[in-house]
Amino acid sequence: MLPTFFTAGFTGVRLARSPTTACATTLRDVNNPFAETEDQQALRTLAREVAARDLAPKARHWDETEEFPEASWEAIRQAGLFGITVDEKYGGHGFGDIEAAIVLEELARADVSSAILAQLTFNGPPRAIQHLGSEAMKERWLPMAASGEALFCIGISETEAGSAVTQMRARLTSDGDGYRLNGYKNYVTGGHRARVCLVWCRFPGSEGAKGIGAVLVDLKSDGVTVAGTHVKMGLRGTSEAELAFDDVRIEPEDILSVGDVATSDTFKTLIAHINHERCGNAAMCVGAAQGALEYAVNYMNERTIGGKPIAELQGLQWKVADMATRLEGARLLMLRAVHLAGPHGTPPALETAMAKAAANLAAKFVCDESIQLLGGYGYSREYPVERVYRDIRGLCIGAGTVEIQRNFIGSQVLRGAAPASAGWRNSSPG
């Protein structure tokens, strides 16, 4: 049976699955290890149409005004896209990282601020609840995620604990059968608008990475305050909030993962889960860069100097060649990471770190060169490429900076770890 979004998404408009859009199979498709299934192609078509029709026209507005992109939220919700990774049992479509990446790529191609709403739902707290939560927690929260009734946010970073996440101070103290949470989380995407926050925090007796766990906090609870929002360079539709937790009661059923003070196992599980977010981040970078590249190519074909389109200048064709090659390299790394996750698994750490770093750097390069190719217009707020550049800059920092990905990749390679390519000889013990 077709998932409902193919037939009922989009205010009831049924998407055509004509041979030209969904079923055309070429030899390149047959031999392509990452070729999309028919359902994945239809999903891409749907996401692309939502992005073009509902997200792109207002992208500049959200950027200029810093208003929360309510209309984008509504469009994604009406198309049934929020439920992509939520199990069917809880009202979702039960897909995995590949489908999440397809949608994120297409939405970010039009507007990264709006795509982040889907990223928070696909790869943020709902995914953690699905993999790690109790049945009661799933029943309470996942239907809200799938239907787009509630926005979820994640509170990991603190003012003195960003990359150095194990220096976090947010802490639980025992309170009868539950706990009290005290702490301050910084840079929480959508925290001012979300209904619930997944807070990483220390369980009583925790030191270093040992004893770090995670709890869900209903942001309507007593003791929760939005202390402020950051005014930023890009991604201006989805603000990052500072959230203060002052003696907030945590019921036993709000605990996602207990921090075991004897080991760092829970922390490692939570960190591994961030691989979903990193792949989503990479997919958004790939989509945003794709949009910028396409815009620059169209511009080059139209802009004439001395009666000839600038697309004919070989010096500029080389720029386009480098942009396209870096973009495609990053996309392939991202696709490999999400394919390795399997339908319901988690993308592996090394391939994910490579995909995130490559996509961040490719997007930075492609968006920067797109501005250059548009000349003075590229630097103008009236053209989208400067906004996309500002937006993807934030993606190079969020979900673990490029430097932190490189730290991980470098240390793994030096220990003899190998990514999933046959040409590498794995020399790590065991």
Residues 179-208 that bind ligand FAD (CB under 6 A): 187-189
Residues that bind ligand FAD (rule: CB under 6 A) add up to a total of 21
The mark string for 215-244 relative to ligand FAD (x by CB under 6 A, - otherwise) is --------------------x----x----
Please say which residue, 162 or 228, places its beta carbon nearer to ligand FAD: 162
First to last CA, the chain: 44
According to CB under 6 A, which one of 156, 214, 289, 292 is a site residue for ligand FAD? Answer: 156
Task: Please give the helix or strand (H or E) that residue 275 lies within, else none.
Answer: helix 265-302
Least distance (Å) from ligand FAD to the CB of residue 131?
18
Q: How many CB atoms lie within 10 A of CB 41?
A: 18
Least distance (Å) from ligand FAD to the CB of residue 276?
13
The answer to the question of residue 174 lying near ligand FAD (CB under 6 A) is: no
According to CB under 6 A, which one of 94, 133, 398, 419 is a site residue for ligand FAD? Answer: 398
Please say which residue, 155 or 280, places its beta carbon nearer to ligand FAD: 155
Q: Give the span between the Cα atoms of 200 and 191, in whole angstroms.
A: 14
Please say which residue, 96 or 400, places its beta carbon nearer to ligand FAD: 400
The answer to the question of residue 157 lying near ligand FAD (CB under 6 A) is: yes
CB burial readout 339-349, b (16+ within 10 A) else e: bbbeeeebbbb
Please say which residue, 105 or 277, places its beta carbon nearer to ligand FAD: 277
The first and second tokens of residue 295, run together, are 């815009």
According to CB under 6 A, which one of 244, 297, 397, 417 is a site residue for ligand FAD? Answer: 397
The answer to the question of residue 311 lying near ligand FAD (CB under 6 A) is: no
The answer to the question of residue 115 lying near ligand FAD (CB under 6 A) is: no
Q: Which residues contact 82 (CB under 8 A, 6 or more apart)?
A: 76, 118, 121, 145, 146, 147, 148
The answer to the question of residue 411 lying near ligand FAD (CB under 6 A) is: no
Position of minimal CB gap to ligand FAD: 162
Cβ atoms of 36 and 12 within 8 Å: the answer is no
The answer to the question of residue 394 lying near ligand FAD (CB under 6 A) is: yes
According to CB under 6 A, which one of 162, 223, 309, 329 is a site residue for ligand FAD? Answer: 162
Residue with tokens 């998404």, as numbered in its chain: 9
**In whole angstroms, how far apart are CA 51 and each of 105, 114, 139, 392?**
10, 9, 30, 17
Query: What's the DSSP call for residue 92?
Result: S
Please say which residue, 27 or 231, places its beta carbon nearer to ligand FAD: 231
Q: How many CB atoms lie within 10 A of CB 250?
A: 21
The answer to the question of residue 401 lying near ligand FAD (CB under 6 A) is: yes
Q: Give the span between the Cα atoms of 250 and 252, in whole angstroms.
A: 7
The first and second tokens of residue 187, run together, are 């840079």
Please say which residue, 106 or 277, places its beta carbon nearer to ligand FAD: 277
According to CB under 6 A, which one of 407, 412, 417, 418 is a site residue for ligand FAD? Answer: 407
The dihedrals phi and psi of 20, each to the nearest 5 degrees, come to: -75, -30
Please say which residue, 188 or 279, places its beta carbon nearer to ligand FAD: 188
Least distance (Å) from ligand FAD to the CB of residue 175?
24
Least distance (Å) from ligand FAD to the CB of residue 332?
25
Q: Give the span between the Cα atoms of 60 and 232, in whole angstroms.
A: 15
Q: Return the sign of the alpha-carbon dihedral for residues 105, 108, 106, 272.
A: positive
Helices (H) and strands (E) in the chain — how many of each?
Answer: 14, 10
Least distance (Å) from ligand FAD to the CB of residue 425?
28
Query: What's the DSSP call for residue 340?
Result: H
Cβ atoms of 104 and 121 within 8 Å: the answer is no
Q: Which residues contact ligand FAD (rule: CB under 6 A)?
A: 153-157, 162-164, 187-189, 235, 240, 394, 397-398, 400-401, 403-404, 407
